[in-house]
A and B are shown apart, each in its own frame.
Chain A
Amino acid sequence: MERKEEVEEVPRGELRTLLRNLRRSRTATFGLIYVIALVIVAILAPIISPFDPYAQDLQNRLQPPSFPHILGLDEFGRDVLARLIHGATVSMQVGLEVVLLSLLIGVVVGAISGYYGGWADMVCMRIADIFLAFPSLVLAIGIMAVLGPSIFNVVLSLVIVSWPYYARVIRSQTITLKKMDFITAAIAMGASKKRILFTHIIPNAIPPVIILATLGMGSAILAEAGLSFLGLGVNPPIPSWGSMVASGRDYILQAPHIVISSGLVITITVLAFNLLGDGLRDALDPRLRI
């Protein structure tokens, strides 16, 4: 133990400690387990789904939960559970794509902005500000209205509204990192700006953004559900939790199981991501050093 305080950082070797810290919080653990389970469901959907989500059985439409349709049937006689499972694939796909693409754009823009500064920085940040000025869902709705519903367009519109958040965080991380001694040391050994940016700055700027990304998945999933609810999301008959809530809404009195199950799944999923994100933030916090 030395007199000076340690710089906040999470090197790769700390994964085990990270998991240990996460497990200390019951809510974070729940979040982690749920998310992992959801990923598995999303990937194995065609295998684990008990029924074909598109198979209609109009005679038994709106059937309440019973065996073998554990969660009942929707307004077209399709198995609700099967649609929820396949909806998970859609949600996870959208969530992952949105986050990864926004992260990519955000990292590039933010790192270049923060590192080079000057005009590039100003221009990029003003553009980011423009996007940030709009309420993101409204902007996404506007874009979807122009582009038309499809998974690709949903991802595109959500990426457009989310990249500025990542860019800002990466930019401020970059500005802080730029001043650190190990960057000066790299300059002193003749490292090019490109090398410094890619091998030193970006790997160190990303860890705090992981938390943002986790929470971001939750909001992307929620946003997709919202867009689909408004009919601006994925095309029917592709199952989406949001559109299930929308169509189930018309039958809320006769067949509440549709709205309840799809609404519940959205709520718990977003909650799980938030709990995981919060748990990550606490787990990555440098412990009180006395």
Chain B
Amino acid sequence: MDKDKVLLEVRNLVACIETGSGLVKAVDDVSFDVRKGEIVGLVGESGCGKTMTALSIMRLLPEPFGRIVGGSIYFEGQDLTKLTEEEMRAIRGNKISIIFQDPLTALNPIMKIGEQIVEAIVSHRKVDKNEAKRRAIELLHSVGIPDGEVIASQYPFRVSGGMRQRVMIAVALACDPVLLIADEPTTNLDVSIQAQILELINEIRRKRGTSVLLITHNLGLVAWLCDRVFVMYAGKIVEHAPTEALFANPYHPYTQLLLKSVPKLDSPRDKLTTVEGEVPNLIKPPSGCRFHPRCPYVKEFCRTVEPALIKVNTDHYTRCLMQDSRYSGEWK
């Protein structure tokens, strides 16, 4: 697996959406990359901009409410932000696929499952209907649905949530994409079914070499699947590192608090650490460091100086003035 080859490079991406109360920079100067054959995690709580980032990559922001206003998304030598809709359509579902949290709304309710997979295949490949049908059954098998023929003739609402998620993955894999974006793929699933789907995603990476961008709020999933992690807060990336490094040595106060606030399965019953305050309003984000109103280590200058991403270790960066050599002395 050629892990050093960069598949997707997002550079300084900025995306805005119009809400009832104003314009919001949901994605504010976000940069990350996904290398071949790796699983990258984009983690954060709701409102941090991770879903918007995913939609931006796929150019699926709801026009006219949302659009990309800056930055670039490099994929296979092209800047996706500069492509026409038709050129994007050739990539969507073909080179890059996305699966969502709720398969019930992502799948067409009035189309049989088999037909939807066939549709995914024929939109990008020149094959006849029968060949497409054969491939569809094969795909269902590959995602762990042994009785593919039976399932293919059903409508989405007739099968269980876990099954629907597998179907959605089958649709996503129909044209053998090099990158799979998974936006909260298991949030609505039971624990035991979630385990099956996560195993499946792992298998997809192992057997097909597909890279995965996993978007989630669940740090446990990140620890399970991801090679590298990017933590988002209020539209910005606040820390990123290889998974083990991030969990062993979180540098950003938000990451630290997030890790401490999750009840551990194996440790004694002490009080959970909490993060003070609420998720900020992105219409008027906090000045300086976005996390400063909730940071236990906040200093005066945190309110005015916006930190940049600073390297703290190999491949490990954090957006905090505590690591900025100009200011770090204040915390001694």
Contact = CB atoms under 8 A, between A and B. Distances in A.
- Touch between chains A and B, by CB atoms below 8 Å: yes
A290 B17 CA distance: 8
Nearest to A17: B20
A31 B319 CA distance: 53
A50 to B, nearest CB: 46
A288 B46 contact: no
Binding site of A, secondary structure by majority: helix, strand, loop or mixed?
Answer: loop
Interface residues of A, number: 7
Given A288-B62, A290-B62, A2 B46 contact: yes
Contact of B279 (A1, A287, A288, A289): A1
B17 A1 contact: no
Interface string B152-171: 00000000000000000000
B19 interface: yes
Contacts of B217: 3
A290 B217 CA distance: 17
Instruction: Pick from A1, A2, A287, A289 the residue with the most CB of B within 10 Å.
Output: A1
A290 B46 contact: no
B233 to A, nearest CB: 14
Interface string A271-290: 00000000000000001111
Contacts of A287: 19-20
Interface of B: 17, 19-20, 26, 46-47, 52, 62, 65-66, 187, 217, 279
Interface of A: 1-3, 287-290
A290 B66 contact: yes
A2 B62 CA distance: 20
9 contacts: A2-B46, A3-B187, A3-B217, A287-B19, A287-B20, A288-B62, A288-B65, A290-B19, A290-B26
B94 to A, nearest CB: 26
Given A287-B20, A290-B17, A1 B65 contact: no
Given A288-B62, A290-B62, A290-B65, A3 B19 contact: no
B62 A1 contact: no
Nearest to B47: A1
Contacts of A2: 46
A16 to B, nearest CB: 13
Instruction: Pick from A1, A2, A287, A290 the residue with the most CB of B within 10 Å.
Output: A290
A290 B63 CA distance: 12
Contacts of A1: 46-47, 279
A287 B279 CA distance: 21
Contacts of B19: 287, 289-290
A287 B66 CA distance: 14
Given A3-B46, A288-B62, 11 more contacts: A2-B46, A287-B19, A287-B20, A288-B65, A290-B17, A290-B19, A290-B26, A290-B52, A290-B62, A290-B65, A290-B66
A287 B20 CA distance: 7
Contacts of A289: 19
Instruction: Pick from B19, B26, B52, B217 the residue with the most CB of A within 10 Å.
Output: B19
A3 B47 CA distance: 9
A287 to B, nearest CB: 4
A243 to B, nearest CB: 47
B26 to A, nearest CB: 8
Contacts of B52: 290
Contacts of B66: 290
Contacts of A288: 62, 65
A290 B279 CA distance: 16
B234 to A, nearest CB: 11
Nearest to A2: B46
Nearest to A289: B19
